[in-house]
């Protein structure tokens, strides 16, 4: 029931908006053009301010790391391009060797290369408690 009332209310608002838009187009089209240009200008100003100041602060404008990477890539390309005898060679093609199936045993061996360290505890010491 509430959904129907909401749906009717939305349709009424959209109908009034369409009526107002058509009325403005017929009676005063230059007002409509001027409003569209003003909205576009304000949006452009906000976009410029965002890109200029806020995007760099919040990571949306490329950031310092990306600019440093691009600068280093340009420097590296320039440095290694001018050296004589530095011709980029194609990497050698690796022929796939026929692979043999590894022998599968019933028990898998455990790898002993773990990163755990044994810490000596206080198992042998008795707690000193007051009775």
pLDDT at 17: 95
Which domain covers residue 52, as residue numbers?
2-81
**How many structural domains comprise the chain?**
1
Residue 103 in 3-state DSSP? Answer: coil
d(CA 27, CA 21): 10
Q: What is the pTM of this model?
A: 0.37
| Per-residue pLDDT tens digits for 78-126 | 877 766 655 555 555 666 666 665 555 555 555 666 777 777 777 776 7
Residue 14 lies inside a defined structural domain of this protein: yes
Residue 29 lies inside a defined structural domain of this protein: yes
Residues 6+ apart with CB under 8 A from 20: none
């Amino acid at each position: 029931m509430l959904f129907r009332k909401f749906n009717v209310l939305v349709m009424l608002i959209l109908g009034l908006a369409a009526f107002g838009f058509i009325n403005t187009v017929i009676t005063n089209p230059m007002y409509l053009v001027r409003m569209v240009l003003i909205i576009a200008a304000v949006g452009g100003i906000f976009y410029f301010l965002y890109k200029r100041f806020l995007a760099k602060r919040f990571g949306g404008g490329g950031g310092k790391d990306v600019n440093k990477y691009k600068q280093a890539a340009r420097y590296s390309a320039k440095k290694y391009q001018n050296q004589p005898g530095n011709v980029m060679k194609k990497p050698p093609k690796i022929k796939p060797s026929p692979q043999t199936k590894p022998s599968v045993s019933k028990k898998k061996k455990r790898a002993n290369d773990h990163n755990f360290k044994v810490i000596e505890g206080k198992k042998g010491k008795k707690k000193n408690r007051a009775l």
